[in-house]
Amino acid sequence: MDRERFEDDLDEVELESGERDELPFTFMEIQGKPVPKNGRVRYTDFKTQFTFQGIDEQSPQDLQGFVEEHGPVATPEVMEVYGIQRQEAVQRLQDLDSVSSFKAGGERFWYLE
């Protein structure tokens, strides 16, 4: 991923205020069954739905692997997936090898160098 382009794109985004009926719609299929979700879908929503469908919860991968696979990741993403507070998330991210960060849109994003 081109980090400079990502930062530039975030800075150039013009936010639009949506109408209440314009909430995002997510469609999941779990074990062949449709599972529609309206509005913001959090990690815990997915986790609850999978548990309800009888799928056992798995522990999240190690943090280094998470950043490598999904980066750049925002601090709140790490907080939600790992169930930790902001200060701990930042400390754990800072302690990782070859991980750097940049600030965009008021939030810090972490990526593997």
pTM of the model: 0.59
Amino acid letter, 8: D
pLDDT at 44: 74
pLDDT in tens, 33-90: 777 777 777 777 777 777 777 777 778 889 999 999 988 999 999 998 899 999 999 9
Let me know whether 65 and 52 are in one domain: no
What's the distance, CA 2 to chain centroid? 18
pLDDT at 38: 73
Let me know whether 88 and 68 are in one domain: yes
pLDDT at 19: 58
Q: Is the pLDDT of residue 7 over 80?
A: no
The domain tally of the chain equals: 2
The better pLDDT of the pair 32, 19 is held by 32
Q: Where are the alpha helices (DSSP H) in the chain?
A: 3-12, 43-52, 63-70, 75-82, 86-94
64 inside domain: yes
